[in-house]
Amino acid sequence: MRSMNQKKFLEQYVYALENDFTSPNGEPAAWAPDHPKYWGQERAKIGLDGNRITPALSPDNRFLAVGAEQEIHVIDVTTQERLEVLRGHSGELEKVQFAPELVDHGDNQNGTRYLLVSECDAEIVILWELNERGNLVLSKEDKEKAVDADTLATETLQPLVSKLVTDHGWNTDDKAIDALNNEVRSALRSAITLHEQERRLCFRGQLASFGSAAFSPDGKTLLYLSQNESTQGGSRDATSLPCVNVWDVEKRYLRHQLLGHADAIMWTAMSPDSRLVASIAWDGTARIWDTTSGECLRVVGPLGGQLWSGAFSPDAKWLAISQGSPKTHIHVYDISTGEPVSRFDGSRRWARSLAWSPDGTMLACGTDDSTLFIWDPITGQERMRWRLAFEDWMMRSFASIGGVRFLDGGRKLIFQIREGTVEIYDFETNLKQQLTRGAEDQIDQCPNSEVVCSADSRLIVVPDGDGVLRVWDL
């Protein structure tokens, strides 16, 4: 039986289009000057160890926070200098996000602060605070009691190894001594990690997926999930069902625990005015909650199948909902009435990356079968389709489209092919840009996270399949 995997996909992948962007009068899009651009033409590149590299960009474009293995590296965007390494996770980093607003304490002593949230595969969420130099904000007690794991392990092992050699006839080059050394250092690092978690703002849970925003637009509220295991393997008590946790960042307390979904929650976000929370789940429902009271204001559905992701309209009047089974539909619902506005049925496969244009006149989605759709959210009428060309359906299934986002006030649209290539289309000029690797740049794995864009649409950061972050100017 024929099969496909990432390595085979990347070996056989050739960029070709079945459908391209066009102007309103049907003129095919042209390349912008000096495009496509290839590896080596980027503004800067940053290499880090680890197969999974997860970047986030600070709201003022000064710092990159990059999750690599169990550490978060804080990097100066201009100089690429590593300013800080954040440790405290006991598993591999999966998500990192900056709060969209800086924290200004209004005094000379504390200055401007940056908030950062991270999640690892051990289902631990940590909230970090960085100062204006990109360093972790520590209490005086934390600074005085910092532990150097390697130094302490060496000091601990020296008398033990000496006794084993002198009294028991061991040799210092024995494999057993090496094993002891490695085990002690590993155990000490794990203990330090647990100790640091106790001193940080840590939550047992996870951040939602598929474009979910962990912070509210004003940066004052954090959303995270708990008890989010699927119920398809068996029912659970209502108090143990998937939960959206609403954490007050300023006052540092758990404001609400939003219960009501009967299966795993896939997507959460707060409305552009920070007044509403939306959650979308596999139970086939979308729920709208009041941020202040925690009251469930609206339940949309069940819609007859698993729901995967969503997006608030810019005016917070409508919610786009992606349904993945039994067929793919993108629904638009009126939040105030709970009534359907439109349904887009153009995609045959899951469409889990959604974005509204800033003026609310367009919706875009990236699908799992290498297609990007743009349509009218009111009528559901398709406006444009971009699609890769494949003769092999198995190749197509590996070329999903993600990272969909409107830039520059809605003038441009950016998205990323699973292989790593980034595409940008300018609606006004009908020009397209592309950031990609050359034919000589071979990789054997796809990037594990998506392109990150600055709030001012001037800078993008691309995690590539060679384990390198590339910074590009737009």
Question: Do the Cβ atoms of 102 and 112 come closer than 8 Å?
Answer: yes
Q: CA-CA distance, 212 to 278, in Å (whole number)?
A: 10
pLDDT of residue 143: 47
Q: Which long-range contacts (CB under 8 A, 24 or more apart) does 424-428 make?
A: 424/474, 425/21, 425/29, 425/386, 426/32
Q: For the ranges 205-209, 263-267, 331-335, 455-459, which has the lowest average pLDDT?
A: 455-459
Q: What Cα–Cα distance (Å) separates residue 133 from each residue in 47, 111, 227, 404, 453?
A: 21, 10, 36, 31, 21
- How high is the mean pLDDT of the chain? 90
Q: CA-CA distance, 134 to 62, in Å (whole number)?
A: 9
144: confidence class by pLDDT, cuts 50, 70, 90: very low
Q: CA-CA distance, 377 to 366, in Å (whole number)?
A: 15
Query: What backbone torsions phi and psi does residue 168 show, to the nearest 5 degrees?
Result: -125, 5
Q: Which residue has the tokens 């590896």?
A: 39
* Percent with pLDDT over 90 in the chain: 75
Q: For the ranges 49-63, 288-302, 327-341, which has the lowest average pLDDT?
A: 49-63
Angle at CA of residue 204, ends 100 and 310, nearest 5°: 50
Task: Name the residue type at position 401.
Answer: I
The residue extents of the domains of the chain are: 149-196
Neighbours of 370 (CB within 10 A): 24
Q: Using the 8-state DSSP alphabet, how is residue 27 labeled?
A: P
Q: CA-CA distance, 418 to 463, in Å (whole number)?
A: 11
Single out the residue of 441, 450, 436 nearest to residue 35, CA to CA: 436
Q: Which residue has the tokens 């033990």?
A: 160
Q: Select the highest-mean-pLDDT range: 167-171, 223-227, 230-234.
A: 223-227
| CB burial of residue 291 (10 Å; 0-12, 13-18, 19+) | buried
Cα dihedral across residues 382, 383, 387, 392: positive or negative: positive
Question: Do the Cβ atoms of 440 and 45 come closer than 8 Å?
Answer: no
pLDDT of residue 197: 47
pLDDT of residue 1: 64
211: confidence class by pLDDT, cuts 50, 70, 90: very high
In sequence order, what are the beta bridge partners of 473?
459
Question: Do the Cβ atoms of 23 and 430 come closer than 8 Å?
Answer: yes
Question: Do the Cβ atoms of 259 and 245 come closer than 8 Å?
Answer: no
| CB burial of residue 36 (10 Å; 0-12, 13-18, 19+) | middle
Residue-wise pLDDT tens digits, 404-446: 999 999 999 999 999 999 999 999 999 999 999 998 998 988 9
Q: What is the dihedral of CA 405, 408, 412, 415, to 10 degrees?
A: -30
